[in-house]
Structure 1
Amino acid sequence: MNIDDLRAIDIHTHAEEPCCGHRDDGYDEFQAGMANYFKNPAGKEGMLPSVQDTAAYYRERKIGAVIFPVDSERETGFRRYSNEEVATIAAENSDVLIPFASIDPAKGRAGAREARRLVREFGVRGFKFHPTMQGFYPNERWCYPLYEAIAEEGAITLFHTGQTGVGAGMRGGMGMKLKYSNPMYLDDVAVDFPDMPIIAAHPSFPWQEEALAVATHKPNVYIDLSGWSPKYFPPILVRYCNSILQDKMLFGSDWPAITPDRWLADFEKLEMKESVIPKILKENARRLLKL
């Protein structure tokens, strides 16, 4: 990966389309609900991009991308996509893709062993957690064996925070409980794992100020700006981007739900300091990922 040739680094993209088998029952309905929420025609038509498609899209735009699946088998019943396969395809496209993985913390010591193997044998750089989809509070002690393995391997953690488009508008929210994704729970994790980088993903509606407080107070906590069009960013988030958290804000799209084309076009319309823009789009991620 030639970082100097890249326009930006997208810290938050999803491997949505199965790379290791057919879709599970109910998955089409789930993706249709997501597509309706984000007004994404590809999801409605069942034409989500594969990991290879994602690499081609980002290569054409000269944007690097962190990519990951989400292991939510326990809560949703959807078979998880192979972390190994996603990482292997990312390695084949290492000019643009950076592999993260996903492991349900409920897998305990087995999950910890998997995390170590993925880092050592597959070059995985971080791990995505989705408390709402996976059904857990991030500060629950039974999650700690997995965090300990990740921290010891020098990898990054990325936690979904705030309201999610997953299940939005569907009956019962598809069983998703928003309470798990309050970013304040990450404060405990940041205290107990002070050397492990933690990314709080998305503007954390309705807990935006909690996320800003944790990222301001804890040196190892960052915020990615994915999952929302920048035109909906609350004023306080923009102020913090322009000031005290300018070195800890990260560009993320939430591909394929939101494309980087859409996100970047809306980002250009914000009143951002010229000195801050390159930090958010690339330099903060470059430093965090040690690229």
Structure 2
Amino acid sequence: MVDFSKVRAIDIHTHAEEPCGCHTDDGYDELQSTMAQYFGAPWSHPPTIPETAAHYRQMNIAAVIFPVDAERETGYRRYSNDEVLEQVAQHDDVLIPFASIDPWKGKMAVREARRLIEAHGVRGFKFHPTMQGFFPNDRMAYPFYEVLAEHGCTALFHTGQTGVGSGMRSGNGMRLKYSNPMHLDDVAVDFPDMNIIAAHPSFPWQEEALSVAQHKPNVYIDLSGWSPKYFPPILVKYANSILKKKMLFGSDWPMIAPEKWLNAFDKAEFKDEVRPLILKENAMRLLGVS
């Protein structure tokens, strides 16, 4: 298990993009390579889970890691949660398991979520409304959320536009409207005991995200997917003040390496007393390990 007293930070947002290191291409490679070019990622092939663990171990950083199940909307194969969790369990000194199930799978999603939580200790679930093609407040997803709320799990939602699909024909068919963070407000009202993370600076809806996080006690914001040098001033201002206990470090590995994000964070205008909260303490409280 992660020794949280020794790691210097907790990255709340990393992707298990290549758990097995081999697959038959179904178009996902083009999306990955386009994203890597957009973000300036240095790798020629997405890192495997063991490679991810080795990198974070070297950095002395713990990482929440998950796949993304969007096969219904995109046609891309999903990485098996069981396969991901099996490999994550071999590196549980640095990796913290989340999972992903497309909420459109209905009762199948509910059954799988319950099994993953009860049998494998999954701590949270990643939702990607833009890739999965749903509004977070669509009632079809509520039975899924009920399982998360029942077990004290965290729901992490992609918000805004971070670059996924950017520049591809028709934006790779992805509709940005689904990831407006204001849709999380209904979810926060209807599931007040389920912790919710609005992932990424929510461009172009940053003020909506700040509003929801300020108004709803169970809503947090992770700062992944953007270099801190590009953060809008209002985000930094809120992080330094009324939302200093609601902000979380996230990189969006493997598109952004944690050391690259941290280097830019060191140069950004965050208060010294706020930095430890963002890098580790807020995540520990959220994960129930503080």
| TM-score normalised by the chain length of structure 1 | 0.97
User: 1:17 is matched with which residue?
Assistant: 18
Q: SS state of the match for residue 18, structure 2?
A: coil
Q: Which residue of 2 aligns with 1:4?
A: 5
Counterpart in the other structure of 2:133: 135
Contact 2:103 2:140 in 1 (8 A): yes
Q: Deviations over 1:49-76 (max 9, x none)?
A: 1011111000011000000000000111
Percent of aligned pairs with the same amino acid: 70
1:85 deviates by 1.5
* Partners of 1:55 and 1:97 within 8 A in 2: yes
Alpha-carbon distance change, 20 to 148 in structure 1, aligned in 2, over 3 angstroms: farther
SS in 2 for 1:199: strand
Please say if residues 188 and 219 of structure 2, whose CA atoms lie closer than 8 Å, have aligned partners that are also in contact: yes
Q: Which runs of 4+ in 1 moved over 4 A?
A: none
For structure 1, which segment, 234-243 or 85-94, has the greater mean C-alpha deviation from structure 2 after superposition?
Answer: 85-94
Offset from partner CA, 1:200-259 (integer Å, 9 cap, x none)? 000000000000000000000000000000000000000011000000100000000000
Secondary structure in structure 1 of the residue aligned to 2:157: strand
Equivalent residue letter for 1:159: F
Q: Partners in 2 of 1:271 and 1:20 — Cα distance? A: 39
Q: SS in structure 2 opposite 1:173? A: helix
Distance across 2 between alignment mates of 1:88 and 1:217: 38
1:23-34 correspondence runs (5 A) = 23-34=24-35
* Partners of 1:246 and 1:280 within 8 A in 2: yes
Q: In the TM superposition, what are the counterparts of 1:62-77 in structure 2 within 5 Å?
A: 62-77=60-75
Partner of 1:258: 256
Residues 54-69 of structure 1: pairs in structure 2 closer than 5 A: 54-69=52-67
2:207 alignment partner in structure 1 = 209
The two structures, once aligned, show a CA RMSD in angstroms of 1.0
Q: Which runs of 5+ in 1 are unaligned?
A: none
The alpha carbon displacement at 1:27 in A equals 1.7
Question: Does the residue aligned with 1:158 lie in a helix, a strand or coil?
Answer: strand
How far apart are the structure 2 equivalents of 1:59 and 1:10? 12
Gaps of 5+ in 2: none
Letter in 1 for 2:159: T
What CA deviation, in whole Å up to 9, does each residue of 1:117-143 have, x standing for no partner?
A: 101111110000000000000000111
CA contact (8 A) 1:230 1:267 kept: yes
Letter in 1 for 2:227: S
Shift, 1:23, TM fit: 3.9
Rounded to whole Å, the distance in 2 between the matches of 1:165 and 1:72 is 17
| Among 193, 196, 207, the residue aligned to 1:195 | 193
Label 1:18 to 1:89 Cα distance change in 2 as closer, same or farther (>3 A): closer
1:37 CA displacement: 1.0
1:130, 1:190 → 2: CA distance? 17
Change (3 A) 1:252 1:23: farther
Return the TM-score normalized by structure 2.
0.97
Match 1:107 to one of 99, 102, 105 = 105
Deviation sequence 1:12-62 (CA, Å, 0-9, x none): 0000114285143212211111111111131xx2x2110111110000110
